[in-house]
Structure 1
Amino acid sequence: MAPTLVNAAVGVLLGLALLGAALDRRSLVVVAIAAALPDLDAVAGLVVVGATNVLLHTLLIPAAAFVALYWETRYRDRSRLGDRYGWYGVRVGWVALAAFVVAGIGLDCFTTGANLLYPLHDRFYAVSGRLLVSTQHGLVQTIADGGAPLWLSSPGTTETYHVETWLNPTPGTGIETGVERRLHLIDAGWQLPVVVAAGIAAAVRLREVR
């Protein structure tokens, strides 16, 4: 899975792009937390076998949140969210949901994979493929394969596939002793400029909106 720091950084970048007039320190923190929230299912992995990248990585949660938020803001006579926080709260709610899906769940689909349809369908899915131009072979792509919009590989199910985390580095449940634990802050070189860019961009934009 992508480090939580990277999930939050991508969430911050989404917030800077989508919050518009609702951008302030509080709204950006909310969006960053929403982006990091799916990784909390690693805590459940201490007591539930195979919970990491499953319980909060299923698309059923944001789907239900989308329906609830859409109904709340479009079809109710009086929106509780709108009444309490006005247009600001509605905008932050939608952007936080986008960050949860794109930065929280989506980013992990490009690394270790996520169990996207759990509990309706127990299988991890990871997006793989490439797009390149070769002097010998021309345009080469394996992203769209066999007519499918995305080429998805599956590393396994909750019974056969384990996602390593600092809390639960080995298969099974409980906090084991004598096991190496590694807290990944940056997992690949490209992630460092993403985190740095998010921090710099947030500092500049928040200074401008004061």
Structure 2
Amino acid sequence: MPSTVVHAGFALLLAAGLLANAYDRKALAVVLVIIVIPEIDTLLGPIMPGAHRTVGHNVVFPVAIALLLLYDTRLRDRSALRDRFDDWGVRVAWVGLFAHVFAHLFLDWAHLEGINMFWPIHDEFFRLEGELYLSTTEGLTQTFVEIAADPESGETTVDAGGTGTTESVHVSNPVEPDAATDTPSDEPVDRRFPIAQRGWRLYLVLVGVFVVVARRFQADLPAEE
């Protein structure tokens, strides 16, 4: 699965492009903290089956936070967030939420067993897996969402990449690694803290760091006279 380091590298790229006038070290730190927070659900594994990729990896809470931010910053006569942190805080909050969804949740959605997308409203893991292509014989084809009709009953089923529920899905993590059935009980448990298990993931981390460093050394364009 993508490690927290990979999520952070992707988040740095998004932050560098979206923070605009709010870009500073404090803003980057806030975004990185937001990226790390979802991984806390690994600590709940021993007391809640399937907690990892569930409690901190769903779209229900981000949507609720987005609605709260929208209400506070756009609909209220006076924004509590803006009063406390000015426009800087508003931009950082929105960018942090955006980075959380696209640099963390949706990246995990495409790996291993996916994420428990609509928990706690609906308990089911979904994985983004398939292909989209244009064929000279089949036309435009996609397999990410497959719709099939039973020829006998006529019932239509939709497969959007469901992989199971919290009772049947376990995503290996340092707190609860997958234990081999033939490993003696007295052998030490191999707890791996992933950094970059694929070349493209290491590349993403390095590019994110490079962009942040490069932006620091960029000079502002001279003002037009």
TM-score range, shorter chain: 0.7 to 0.9
Tell whether 2:88 aligns with 1:91. Answer: no
In structure 1, stretches of 5+ residues that fail to align are none
Tell whether 2:170 aligns with 1:162. Answer: yes
Which residue is 1:187 aligned to? 197
Which residue is 1:128 aligned to? 129
Is contact 1:39–1:104 with CA below 8 Å preserved after alignment?
A: no
Inter-CA distance 55–137: structure 2 relative to 1 (3 Å threshold) = same
Which residue is 1:78 aligned to? 78
Amino acid at match of 1:115: N
CA distance in 2 between counterparts of 1:88 and 1:209 reads 21
What are the superposed Cα offsets for residues 71-106 of structure 1, whole Å, 9 maximum, x if unpaired? 110122211111121111100000001011111211
In structure 2, stretches of 5+ residues that fail to align are 149-157, 180-185, 221-225
Which residue is 2:208 aligned to? 198
Aligned-pair CA distance for 1:59: 1.1
CA distance in 1 between counterparts of 2:61 and 2:219 reads 33
Amino acid at match of 1:155: T
**Which of 1 and 2 has greater Rg?**
2
Indicate the RMSD between aligned Cα atoms, in angstroms.
2.5
Is contact 2:145–2:160 with CA below 8 Å preserved after alignment?
A: no
CA distance in 2 between counterparts of 1:203 and 1:46 reads 39
Using the size of structure 2 for normalisation, the TM-score is 0.81
Tell whether 2:217 aligns with 1:207. Answer: yes
Using the size of structure 1 for normalisation, the TM-score is 0.87
Which residue is 1:117 aligned to? 118
CA distance in 2 between counterparts of 1:136 and 1:184 reads 42
Is contact 1:35–1:101 with CA below 8 Å preserved after alignment?
A: no
Which residue is 2:27 aligned to? 27
What are the superposed Cα offsets for residues 118-142 of structure 1, whole Å, 9 maximum, x if unpaired? 1211110000112346788776543
CA distance in 2 between counterparts of 1:47 and 1:24 reads 39
CA distance in 1 between counterparts of 2:13 and 2:187 reads 38
Aligned-pair CA distance for 1:54: 0.3
How many residues are treated as equivalent by the alignment? 204
Which residue is 2:144 aligned to? 143
